[in-house]
Amino acid sequence: MLFVISGEGSSDLGTKYPDGTLKKGAMTLILDRLCEINCGYAPDYELLTEGDVKRLRKRNLRDVRPRGDVSKEDTETLWLSSFCLAAYAKGKGEGVALVCFKDSDGTNTSPHDKWARMVKAMYSGFNGAGFKWGVAMVPRPKSEAWLLAYYQRKDGVHHEYDQCERFEEMSGNDGSPNSCKSLLKRFCSCNGDVYANVITKDAVETIDWNRVNMPSFTAFKKRFENVLAGLNGLPYPHADCPYTVEP
């Protein structure tokens, strides 16, 4: 089983070593863990960088345009990226899936439906390419929010997983003193890169991901688990998953 993965920045999904192998980031470690829980093994990965995605967009720009009601500039680019990545993954043959990662980066002044528009644009792009196994991995507002569900236990007030959906309402602006990134660093007593220094494979395996009850995480997790089941010839475990792509 191969997952093509693509996103922004090196700390979330990871980076490539000089020999082309993947140095896994925090979000890829979460993919590993969910695969191990559901399938008993971790998949292989092919990481496409932002530069790779730009080249795919440039190659396809003249031939495709967003369809339906995906019209705003930010979601047009997201639709095209998702379409191109899905077409690329589809061309690799059977047993291949795709995970597109992107923080929604919401702030107090962002449109309330920004996350929903981003996710809709991604799945519309997958559908436009006729690709069945695409997954949108879009934390709200940022990936640190998902980890705060567990690490809030160090704030002296809450237990792990306690009312963790509240973190989705926080600012995605890293400059805010109460941003998700600032809180995670504080709770982990980390002055440097918390993903590099704290969020290791062992740390991710310590977290009970079935207890992370956050709308953006649940939407991702249900779709991801449906894709895992489909790739293994099993029925979808989540009939209520709103994001299902059929070619």
The answer to whether residue 209 scores a pLDDT higher than 50 is yes
146-162: average pLDDT:
94
Judged by average pLDDT, the poorest of 108-117, 132-141, 228-237 is 108-117
Instruction: Inform me whether the pLDDT recorded for 156 exceeds 90.
Output: no
What rounded mean pLDDT belongs to the chain? Answer: 89
Burial class (CB in 10 A: 0-12, 13-18, 19+), 154: middle
* Tokens at 106, concatenated: 């919401």
pLDDT at 71: 53
Dihedral of the alpha carbons of 226, 227, 232, 233, in degrees to the nearest 10: 70
